[in-house]
Chain A
Amino acid sequence: DQQVKQNSPSLSVQEGRISILNCDYTNSMFDYFLWYKKYPAEGPTFLISISSIKDKNEDGRFTVFLNKSAKHLSLHIVPSQPGDSAVYFCAATDDYKLSFGAGTTVTVRA
């Protein structure tokens, strides 16, 4: 049973607009959350993370929000750029092993 769920397999957004990716988790012991980005034929690369003691973390165009009571996190990309077209994986951990979601494919339209 997947403990990390990304219920939207795909997202299409116009260049310059905001992309919002959602992720839900079931394990209340998770205390650290990460987003990874993956291009075709490459391995995933770390994008941004957040500890459970925070509810927001920003890094340039990327912001991750955490709602612990709802067991929900989201990734905002503003503004979206063509190079952001990729698969985004949400991940969570309570030790050092990461549990991943199924991924959301983002397509940024010109």
Chain B
Amino acid sequence: NAGVTQTPKFQVLKTGQSMTLQCAQDMNHNSMYWYRQDPGMGLRLIYYSASEGTTDKGEVPNGYNVSRLNKREFSLRLESAAPSQTSVYFCASSDRGQGYGYTFGSGTRLTVV
């Protein structure tokens, strides 16, 4: 099915460990995003990539890095995980030519202990 695929779906890390969250879309969208969802906070933008070859910080970028590997793939890396990064992470993509609607992946639930 066409859409946004995120891996893994669940992950438990120890404080200080690193990991990369993977995201791929097959809709030929130009823009991709990483959000985190926390109770009472809604969805907050971590990083985004307006087009292949560009990345920019969002609202809460500290502790994260991203790579826009190609037009399809946009990964999020935690270099040294902290308990404050326990959250549900969503990747999304969009194409301005198709309006402002995003297509979201199903999320990665990350727990840092």
Query: Which residue numbers of A lie inside 8 Å of B, CB to CB?
Result: 2, 4, 6, 9, 32, 34, 41-46, 49, 89, 93, 96-103
**Taking chain A's interface residues, is the majority helix, strand, or loop, or is none over half, making it mixed?**
loop
Inter-chain contact A100/B42, CB cutoff 8 Å: yes
Q: Which residues of B contact A103 (CB under 8 A)?
A: 42
Stretch at the interface among B13-21, B68-76, B78-86, B97-105: B97-105
Inter-chain contact B42/A49, CB cutoff 8 Å: no
Task: Kindly identify which residue among B40, B43, B50, B104 contacts A45, using a CB–CB cutoff of 8 Å.
Answer: B104
Task: Kindly identify which residue among A4, A6, A45, A49 contacts B100, using a CB–CB cutoff of 8 Å.
Answer: A49
Chain B: interface size category = 20 to 34
Inter-chain contact A41/B106, CB cutoff 8 Å: yes
Inter-chain contact B58/A97, CB cutoff 8 Å: yes
Asked if A97 meets B42 with Cβ closer than 8 Å, knowing A42-B106, A46-B101, A49-B99, the reply is no
Which residue on B lies nearest to A96, using beta carbons?
B96
Inter-chain contact B102/A46, CB cutoff 8 Å: yes
Q: Which residues of B contact A102 (CB under 8 A)?
A: 40-42
Q: Which residues of B contact A9 (CB under 8 A)?
A: 40
A45 to B3, CA, bound (A): 11
CB of B32, distance to nearest CB on chain A (Å): 11
Q: Which residues of B contact A2 (CB under 8 A)?
A: 42
Q: Which residues of A contact B105 (CB under 8 A)?
A: 43
Inter-chain contact B107/A98, CB cutoff 8 Å: no
Apart from the given pairs A97-B58, A98-B45, A100-B44, 17 other A-B contacts in the complex at a CB distance below 8 Å: A2-B42, A9-B40, A41-B106, A43-B4, A44-B90, A44-B102, A45-B104, A46-B101, A46-B103, A93-B100, A96-B50, A96-B100, A97-B33, A97-B45, A98-B100, A102-B40, A102-B41
